Amino acid sequence: MTAYILRRILSTIAVMAMVGIFIFLLLRLSPGDPAAIMAGDAATPQMIAGIREQLGLNDPLPVQFLHWAVGILGGDFGGSIFTARPVLLLISQRLEPTISLSLLTMIVSVVTGVVFGMLAAWRVGGVFDRTLAAFAALGFSVPVFVVGYFLIYWFAISAHWLPVQGYQPIEHGLRLWLVHLILPTAALSFPYIAYFARITRASMLEVLSEDYMRTAAAKGASSYSMLFHHALKNAGVPILTVIGISFAHLISGVVVTETVFNIPGVGRLVVDAINNRDYPIIQGVLILASGLYVLVNLAVDLAYTLIDPRIRY
């Protein structure tokens, strides 16, 4: 097991290196000049040329790559071309909002989605199952930003119960933190609840028709015991796989929600950096995101062993 984990962590480094090279080349070969953007609309060609020289953008690509790669190996992700702030500082400022939103969304989505899916499977074809099917169709088809605007209109503008936008760090107080995350979490959870509910329902239906479930019922096991102890544990592997993949997607895909609710997260940091051609930020975030993606998948693989003792690495 230890050897397996070490192997996976080493592969993470290899993946990050490949992502680094790919992203570096992609950014440099795509159109756009940070010096021209920095200098502004009325800048003279001489002004832009001076900034390019100052930023080292005229250096050959291998030299630029070497500077960056050496920095990364020493733990220095460089500074923003525009604000000169360290990339790691900028990312760390944006990490808390994104992680808060993603974690809350996952907790709400997993708890609600799995419970809904189990209940629908338990009474398959019933009113709840059919209602859930309609809810799931809605969850898959209505974009998150539409849900977001509806929630803002109802709960922030009309009722004045919750703030329209913004984020308060947890150090400003738990209540403030939570109050600012309720609407974005609700909007972002909508499709994930639908997704997890459908996966759980399908997985549970398969397990519920197994012989050992009939045996458990014949032995007089309670509904609770049958659902949670016998069925859910055996249906858990596909559900966990989907949750793991969704979490990785969620972290990289919260940008729409961050924009609608003005949450200063990593997603918006990257979008702004792409618009500005702020190469060090884009490279830094993507390198870290690729590492995170691989680690989440590793965590999911390890969690299989807890659910299914037959799985060994």
Q: Least distance in Å: CB of 152 to another protein?
A: 5
Per CB under 8 A, the list member of 242, 269, 282, 285 interacting with another protein is 269
As a whole number of angstroms, the longest Cα–Cα distance in the chain is 86
HSE, CB side, 13 Å, CA atoms: give it for residue 108: 19
Q: Note whether 176 binds another protein by CB under 8 A.
A: yes
Q: Specify the residue, 21 or 170, whose C-beta has the smaller distance to another protein.
A: 170
Of 194-202, 240-248, 271-279, 286-294, the segment contacting another protein by CB under 8 A is 271-279
Q: Which is nearer to another protein, 165 or 297 (CB)?
A: 165
DSSP letter assigned to residue 44: -
Answer whether 280's CB lies under 8 Å from 84's CB: no
Q: State the CB neighbour count (10 A cutoff) for residue 17.
A: 14
- In the complex with another protein, the residue whose CB is nearer, 92 or 305, is 92
Q: How far is the C-alpha of 223 from the C-alpha of 216, rounded, in Å?
A: 10
SS3 call for 85: coil
Name the DSSP class of 165.
Answer: S
Judged by beta carbon, residue 94 or residue 201, the one nearer another protein is: 94
For residue 45, the minimal CB distance to another protein (Å) is: 6
Q: How far is the CB of 129 from another protein (least distance, A)?
A: 37
Return the residue of 71, 78, 264, 291 that touches another protein, per CB under 8 A. Answer: 264
Residue in 82, 103, 182, 241 binding another protein, rule: CB under 8 A: 82
Torsion of CA 275, 276, 279, 282, to 10 degrees: -40
Q: Which is nearer to another protein, 172 or 229 (CB)?
A: 172
CA distance 282 to 94: 13
Question: Would you say 58 or 225 has its CB closer to another protein?
Answer: 58
CA distances from 210 to 121, 215, 235 (A): 14, 9, 11
For position 261 contacting another protein by CB under 8 A, the verdict is yes
Integer Cα distance of 117 and 105 in angstroms: 17
The CA distances from residue 98 to 169, 174, 221, in Å, are 11, 16, 43
30-59 footprint of another protein as x/- string (CB under 8 A) = -xxx--xxxxxxxxxx-xx-xx-xx-----
Query: Residue 164 interacts with another protein (CB under 8 A)?
Result: yes
Around Cβ 166, how many Cβ atoms within 10 Å? 12
**Shorter beta-carbon distance to another protein: residue 38 or 207:** 38
Q: How far is the CB of 169 from another protein (least distance, A)?
A: 9
Going 256 to 257 to 260 to 266, the CA torsion angle's sign is negative
Contacts of 136 (CB under 8 A, 6+ apart): 194, 195, 197, 198
In the bound state with another protein, the residue whose beta carbon lies nearer, of 27 and 296, is 27
What residue ranges bind another protein (CB under 8 A)?
31-33, 36-45, 47-48, 50-51, 53-54, 80, 82-85, 90, 93-94, 149, 152-153, 156-157, 160, 163-166, 170-176, 259-262, 264, 268-269, 272, 275-277
